[in-house]
Chain A
């Protein structure tokens, strides 16, 4: 069966450290993978997109990797800050219909 899995337990990280979030999927062949941030009571906000032929993408303190062999994407936040605390969602984009398939998200808590 098709699945997208993100760590369902909250991730607690000390301020200043690197936070690493995981997105694993099975039985999908996405053309793209996107990461979004969702704060409580708000809609998701786009952060980064990575294509299937890209290994890594960076934006300021954010880095995303995409391994289509392992069927996994890692999302890193370096020099984490309490303001980075939120739920982070990964979404696969299918080439067939451009529909986004969403993971349930991982709640990240950065402790001062």
Chain B
């Protein structure tokens, strides 16, 4: 059973298009995250949701909009895709936010290439 799953695994699209990436976790965790990993391999937090509520919203263009229909799902919609959006996007979850040190469980990543 996959703990954190993402679809699609690969996404190749044209500049200006709108696309969505889906994430689901079956771990019963309260907190979910979206990360962007660029070509230099830095993992940068984009959003964090705790019990369907937005907790962390880093400086991300408002073309990126997360949606959490329930605790087990956190989707990422991207409008008007740009070349610089090309990266690997990881979804992750943790049991809870708070008490510090919560280990995070990552999905396999979605490789987005904008042409």
Contact = CB atoms under 8 A, between A and B. Distances in A.
Contact of B103 (A31, A42, A46, A99): A46
A98 B97 contact: yes
B35 to A, nearest CB: 8
Contacts of A42: 108-109
Contact of A93 (B40, B56, B92, B100): B100
Interface stretch (B41-49, B64-72, B75-83): B41-49
Given A43-B92, A102-B43, A104-B41, A49 B108 contact: no
A99 B100 contact: no
Size category, B interface: 20 to 34
A105 B41 CA distance: 7
Given A43-B90, A43-B92, A104-B42, A98 B106 contact: no
A87 B81 CA distance: 29
Given A43-B106, A43-B108, A43-B109, A32 B101 contact: yes
A45 interface: yes
Contacts of A98: 97-100, 102
Contacts of A102: 42-44
Interface string A90-108: 0101010111101011000
A16 interface: no
Contacts of B102: 93, 98
A44 interface: yes
A41 interface: yes
A45 B3 CA distance: 12
Interface of B: 4, 40-45, 48, 56, 90, 92, 97-109
16 contacts: A32-B101, A34-B103, A41-B108, A43-B4, A43-B107, A44-B90, A46-B103, A46-B104, A87-B41, A91-B43, A93-B102, A98-B97, A98-B98, A98-B99, A99-B48, A100-B104
Interface of A: 31-32, 34, 41-46, 49, 51, 87, 89, 91, 93, 95, 97-100, 102, 104-105
